[in-house]
Chains A and B, each alone.
Chain A
């Protein structure tokens, strides 16, 4: 029993990180109906910003998060402005392919020696690891930080989307951007802000991931990106609570597979879930079928 509870806690750790990334997929999809395949790479950039902030600039941990949030928000906004906005009226497939291209660009460009470099780099621990043990179940301060920071982010996102004027504008643009414009909403600005919000969450996720799994590489965003995307689809893409729920399920499935079957099955099962969802419930757990706008 302790073993099982321990695995569930470990699953929450990775599940929460996936949630931060999955939210970016779901927010962007909700507003421009685009699967931003480069989102996992924004997460990677967040981890590298964290690495530099800690190692070279010795920033305090809160400033490390702020740097990653700011850097990733700007990167996501720039991506939208340069690559996706010009294609907004183009057929959907054009922006999808562009997203894949953007993803490859970020991975290989940052792998240049002049940028982040092609190797694996160890992510410095910004604090000593401490472990608490209660009845045979251990909890590390890293896990505690992941839980607290992620829950804070979720609360903040919920507040922004459902309680602020900007959030209302975001939901309006997501529902019908033409009519939102008629209300005086600057649609381009709202789309930009949505990308920024998704990027910021991925930045937090990148730093947390670096702290928990202390090795970074410019291709480190690929797998978590795909898993987070799967999580967003599983929960119902476009749905904010769905992305979190999907990510938590993915986290559990991963750790429980590794614990009770074998860690070699871990990724296979994750993508089996994706296929199963697409076959039997393409709208996801909390997603609603909606008629596509012309």
Chain B
């Protein structure tokens, strides 16, 4: 078990945002967390990466409890969080953004190697390495955000809404890349509103509703589940253009 969350509770002030959430991610998996807007998907990722502090419960990653640690320590333990809205540093170049991804690596040479690897995965970033990140298109910014997380060579990548604001064509491209990154050995916990895409790529899934997990299982089973179909898949059978 790479990541094991037991009964975490997270509050925004008095709002109980996550209720006794438990979930597991195995090494090598893509696990997807689906649910409606405001169900607490992003909150769960923020609790794992330390942006939010759970009031109770444990978050075990590679045998260590992350709950209560500051974000930079969690990041240095191999958890890379690609936040909703990408969070690229628009006032810095693509290369500087990638160097920040490698911030925890003291060795400049290792950082350069990781960046070169990301450039082979995303050749478009390589072409634009001297360009300010703010001038990239939405899809390129998403690639940069994912590439920046990869530079840290994380054991676990948390991806928050990678499809947000992208054209269906680009969404397909991004999801293909996510699959490729996973096949190369990175474990991924994926939060998506686009449940169809998420369940088509993930091995397993959890359904979050009003801060609590209501369903979980293999993606194939979830896709067939009538409750999931009714609530999240809508028109099943209209796959996005490939």
Contacts and interface: CB of A to CB of B under 8 A. Distances in A.
B91 interface: yes
Interface stretch (B16-24, B75-83, B168-176): B75-83
B123 interface: no
Interface in B18-51: 49-51
B91 A171 contact: yes
A183 B88 CA distance: 11
Contact of B51 (A169, A181, A186): A181
28 contacts: A168-B92, A168-B96, A168-B99, A168-B100, A171-B91, A171-B92, A172-B92, A175-B90, A175-B91, A178-B51, A178-B83, A179-B87, A181-B51, A181-B70, A181-B72, A182-B51, A182-B81, A182-B83, A183-B72, A183-B75, A183-B100, A184-B76, A184-B104, A185-B100, A186-B70, A186-B72, A187-B70, A187-B72
A144 to B, nearest CB: 36
Contacts of B89: 171-172, 175-176, 179
B11 interface: no
B71 interface: yes
Contacts of B80: 182
A184 B72 contact: yes
A101 to B, nearest CB: 28
Contacts, number: 66
Interface of B: 49-51, 70-72, 75-76, 80-81, 83, 87, 89-92, 96, 99-101, 103-104, 148, 152
Interface in A132-176: 165, 168-169, 171-172, 175-176
Nearest to B111: A165
A187 B104 CA distance: 13
A192 B96 CA distance: 22
A177 to B, nearest CB: 10
Contacts of A165: 99, 103
Contacts of A187: 70-72
A182 B90 CA distance: 16
Contacts of B148: 183
Interface of A: 165, 168-169, 171-172, 175-176, 178-188
Nearest to A174: B91
B10 to A, nearest CB: 16
| Most chain B CB neighbours (cut-off 10 Å) among A172, A178, A179, A183 | A183
Contacts of B91: 171, 175
Nearest to B108: A165
A182 B76 contact: no
A160 to B, nearest CB: 15
Top 3 A-B pairs, shortest CB-CB distance: A181-B71, A184-B104, A179-B87
A186 B99 CA distance: 15
Nearest to B151: A183
Contacts of A175: 89-92
A176 B88 CA distance: 9
A185 B51 CA distance: 13
A184 to B, nearest CB: 4
Contacts of A182: 49, 51, 71, 75, 80-81, 83, 87
A172 B100 contact: yes
A179 B72 CA distance: 10
Given A168-B92, A171-B91, A181 B83 contact: no
Given A182-B71, A183-B72, A187-B71, 16 more contacts: A168-B100, A169-B103, A171-B92, A172-B92, A172-B100, A175-B92, A178-B71, A178-B87, A179-B87, A179-B89, A182-B51, A184-B72, A184-B76, A184-B103, A184-B104, A184-B152
A172 B50 CA distance: 18
A165 B96 CA distance: 10
Contact of A183 (B50, B70, B103): B103
A250 B42 CA distance: 48
A188 B70 CA distance: 10
Nearest to B92: A171
